[in-house]
Amino acid sequence: MTDAINLAEKLSTFDERWSPRTVSLFNGHDVMVVKVEGEFTWHSHPDTDDFFLVLKGEIDIELRDRTITLKAGEIYVIPKGVEHRPVARQEAHLLLIEPTGTPNTGDPETAVARKVI
Amino acid sequence: MTDAINLAEKLSTFDERWSPRTVSLFNGHDVMVVKVEGEFTWHSHPDTDDFFLVLKGEIDIELRDRTITLKAGEIYVIPKGVEHRPVARQEAHLLLIEPTGTPNTGDPETAVARKVI
């Protein structure tokens, strides 16, 4: 078993945007931290909900019919199958939880490789 | 679909200790906030890992062979079946994730009823 996992410390070890790092496992899911900035691609996950917690900064989660603004200390769960596009006007830090193996773009072809730190 | 869920706002709506409130659902799990203070009971969950994120304050998670101290911004996942006892010397606020229906004490007889806010 590991020690306590300090999220800010894990985030300080990398600078890449949109490249989640797995920091722990939970019931078949990867618990990840990620730095985001700019616009991601529109995508959906047919088989899983998508858990977002903003740790620092602010993001918009664009849905096809509206936009959810998420600030630090706020969470949002995108139901499976719902198209969304995360957008960060400035650097923001997130905690994400997804089943291990879920492609971050919803598509294995364009997904970044899983990275564990 | 809901709006952004502000965790501090949800926590401000109650004062009970050791009585988690469900604020969202995620892949068959309850996402919960809880205020803790003092010692909880020793317990384990035979069928699920136990996800802890400290939002405010500090807790000790006592395991049978050692103690994990968790501060704000730190996470820890107790693997399923592992006995543990959370202890908070002062009031602390946590985000917990467990499969919907999991008794908080590991035992349906002593568990608090599920509360959704």
Identify the pLDDT of residue A114.
80
Q: What is the mean pLDDT of chain B?
A: 93
Identify the pLDDT of residue A115.
85
- Nearest chain A residue (CA) to B47: A27
Interatomic CA distance for residues A40 and A52, integer angstroms: 14
Overall size of chain B counted in residues: 117
Identify the pLDDT of residue B117.
83
- Structural contact between residues A6 and B70, judged by C-beta atoms closer than 8 angstroms: no
**B27 burial via Cβ count (<10 Å: 0-12, 13-18, 19+):** buried
What is the distance in angstroms between the Cα of A51 and the nearest Cα belonging to chain B? 7
pLDDT tens digits, residue range A36-72? 999 999 999 999 999 999 999 999 999 999 999 999 9
pLDDT (mean) for A90-102: 94
Predicted complex ipTM: 0.92
Q: Is B1's pLDDT higher than 60?
A: no
Which residue, A59, A22, A54, A21, is CA-closest to A37? A59
Tokens representing residue A101 in the block: 């193996």
- Structural contact between residues A23 and A31, judged by C-beta atoms closer than 8 angstroms: yes
Interatomic CA distance for residues A84 and A86, integer angstroms: 7
Percent of chain B with pLDDT over 70: 99
Which residue, A40, A62, A63, A59, is CA-closest to A110? A40
Total-model pTM: 0.94
Q: Which residues of B touch A (CB under 8 A)?
A: 1-8, 23-27, 29, 31, 48-49, 51, 53, 55, 63, 68-71, 73-77, 79, 82, 95, 97, 99
- Written in H, E and C, the secondary structure of B65-109 is CCEEEEECCEEEEECCCCCEEEEEEEEEEEEEEEECCCCCCCCCC
Q: How many CB atoms lie within 10 A of CB A113?
A: 7
Confidence of residue B41 (pLDDT cuts 50, 70, 90): very high
Q: Is A1's pLDDT higher than 60?
A: no
Q: Is A108's pLDDT higher than 90?
A: no
User: Which of the residues A59, A75, A82 would you substitute to probe the B interface, choosing the one with the greatest number of B C-beta atoms within 10 Å?
Assistant: A75
Interatomic CA distance for residues B88 and B66, integer angstroms: 16
pLDDT tens digits, residue range A18-40? 999 999 999 999 999 999 999 99
Interatomic CA distance for residues B73 and A55, integer angstroms: 8
Confidence of residue A117 (pLDDT cuts 50, 70, 90): confident
